[in-house]
A = this chain, B = another copy of it.
Amino acid sequence: MSSLFEKHRSTLETALEVIRHRGFWSAYPEMPSARFYGEQAKEEGQQAFDALLNRDFILSGHPEQGRAGNEQSPYGVALDIRYPVASVETLVKQSQDAGKVWANTSLNVRMGICLEILERLNNMSFEIANAVMHTSGQAFPMAFQAGGPNAQDRALEALAYAWAEMSQIPSQTDWVKPQGKAGDLVLEKHWRIIPRGVSLLIGCQTFPTWNSYSAFFANLVTGNTVIAKPHPSAILPMALTVRVAREVLSEQGLPADVVLLAAEEDGMGMAKQLALHPDVALIDYTGSSAFGQWLRTQAATPLVYTEEAGVNSIVLGSTDNFDAMCQNIAFSLTLYSGQMCTTPQNLFVPRDGILVNGERKTFDEVTAGIASAVDALLVDPARAVMVTGAIANQATLERVATMRGAGRLIRDSAALPGMEQVRTATPLIQALDASDENVYGTECFGPVSFVIAVDDVEDGIRRAAQLARTKGAITAAIYEKDEARLAKAIDAFAQAGVNLSVNLAGGIFVNQSAAFSDFHGTGANPAGNCCFADSAFVANRFRVAMWRRPKSS
């Protein structure tokens, strides 16, 4: 059964190497190009997606006590897909039953299966991209990249970490203790990996695969079973993932129920019910801080890994390329309409402006520069929507409306013209003063950002770092050419437990986090208690049991 392992061994080995030096690598090409995926891939992916609409989603052998599903594409397509639903008791029971077999498979078998699942997911990246696009509202290019290969890379990264931790446990040894004249005391000792049991994976709407795959695969390879509970508005991408996983498991003669889908419609409350079940041993969650807090304190298991809300900042001090800075920031604000956990919300700008090649640009010149750069991105609506995507959730549109007027208007938000069926909103940018922390000190998820007047760069750094420490942050950025000032910023943001991007320009953005190189999140501030992925993310998902006896017995 370990032939799948041999088939994929070199992929694992490269991943193991790369997570140590953290240079660039990607196992799954992120370009939606025929060169990598074949001439027919795009067309076939579209057809495969279309064939899913307006019918029951087939999950062969999956427990089914009814059907549910009410996904609406933010692009105006009604998906009308109905997924099998089962009670919490049924899901947990069948997960546990499958776990008895899964727990006894070897690490190599589990790794081979996980890597095979990943390969098949990669091959259907176009289909997944359509599924991600029409649930999250991401534009197709991002849905492909983030929802497909980038998510698969994150999965592989988690598999590599899990492998590194598990493979360091020897399966046996002879323990030979010298006893002087009494001769040696010899014990044979045997170790085995014991999984935690049933894991629960609670997904989010905006990144249904990217934010779920690290845990999904880490749990599988460590021998746990997985109940995937996607967001009610973004079930399809994980349903497809579950289907592939179940197919590979079945082909290998293993119970498909190692992976189950907990589909639900809004208001069914499956996440809470599952989290309170005493046999759910592990929970991974991406979403609001309120429910994160509930899970961390009320779930039956203490093993809860979260990514929650945060308030990301950019501090502007100085630059030698004003236009490139403005364009870079503008893209970060506009990309997927600010619906990324990595989107900056607060731009801290000194009251008396910033230094550009030694000359001062006023506060208003800075805000105007950024607003113009956003406008430039959005000139052509057909191109613009490829950057903004659609608004995933009606509540985000309402938040934009509510926040309008919270500060001095710099750039208003509007729907993209000429595409009424798509739910869009361009960036709302408003100016605030440092004293308005009651406004900018909370996450306003979506295309809402603030340019905040501060005393000076140091004041901006202090406020941004303090927000990261107290409210959480996944990203931070600074534009600053002075190395001494930069060094202080680096210290401040590190102490606040947030990763910092410096002087970004060109084709790299603060929103982006690369598998194998950038740890996503730190687990060191309220935006989450873990990161994707490191040793701590995987090492407690399994335990080790030993038996030992005198060698001669």
Report A's interface with B, CB cutoff 8 A: 20-24, 103, 165, 168, 170, 173-179, 182, 185, 187, 189-192, 194, 196, 296, 302, 490, 493-495, 497-508, 514, 517-519, 522-524, 529, 531, 534-536, 539-540, 543-550, 553
Contact = CB atoms under 8 A, between A and B. Distances in A.
Contacts of A508: 185, 187, 550
B522 A544 contact: yes
Given A493-B545, A506-B550, 15 more contacts: A22-B173, A22-B175, A24-B178, A168-B535, A175-B514, A194-B497, A490-B547, A500-B545, A500-B546, A500-B547, A501-B548, A503-B549, A518-B548, A523-B543, A534-B544
A170 B20 contact: yes
Nearest to A192: B494
Contact of A498 (B22, B506, B545): B545
B176 A529 contact: no
B547 A173 contact: no
Q: Most B CB atoms within 10 A — which of A21, A165, A497, A548?
A: A548
6 contacts: A23-B174, A165-B535, A185-B507, A185-B508, A494-B545, A535-B539
The A interface, classified by DSSP as helix, strand, loop or mixed, is: mixed
A509 to B, nearest CB: 11
A72 B500 CA distance: 54
Contacts of A296: 302
Nearest to A501: B548
Given A192-B494, A519-B544, A24 B177 contact: yes
B549 A173 contact: no
Given A302-B529, A494-B194, A543-B523, A176 B24 contact: yes
Nearest to A184: B24
A185 B540 CA distance: 36
A178 B549 CA distance: 55
A20 B168 contact: yes
Contacts of A497: 194, 543, 545
Contact of A499 (B493, B499, B547): B547
B553 A494 contact: no
Contacts of A503: 549-550, 553
B302 A501 contact: no
Contacts of A553: 502-503, 505
Contact of A523 (B498, B501, B534, B540): B540
A519 B546 contact: yes
A540 B190 CA distance: 27
Contacts of A543: 497, 522-524, 531
Given A170-B20, A507-B179, A550-B504, A534 B539 contact: yes
A417 B348 CA distance: 78
Contacts of A547: 490, 493-494, 499-502
Nearest to A103: B495
B534 A536 contact: no
Contact of A539 (B176, B524, B536, B550): B536
A514 B175 CA distance: 10
Q: Most B CB atoms within 10 A — which of A499, A507, A529, A536?
A: A536
Contact of A546 (B165, B499, B548): B499
Contacts of A494: 192, 194, 545, 547
Contacts of A187: 508
A543 B498 CA distance: 10
A303 to B, nearest CB: 9
A539 B533 CA distance: 12
Contacts of A182: 507
Given A185-B506, A536-B539, A539-B539, A522 B545 contact: yes
Given A170-B22, A544-B522, A553-B503, A495 B194 contact: yes
Contacts of A165: 535
Contacts of A177: 24, 514
A499 to B, nearest CB: 4
A173 B545 contact: no
Nearest to A541: B536
Given A185-B507, A524-B194, A500 B548 contact: yes
Contacts of A519: 544, 546
Q: Most B CB atoms within 10 A — which of A194, A196, A547?
A: A547
Contact of A173 (B490, B500, B517, B540): B517
A191 B23 CA distance: 12
Contacts of A191: 22
Nearest to A31: B180
Contacts of A550: 503-506, 508
Nearest to A476: B547
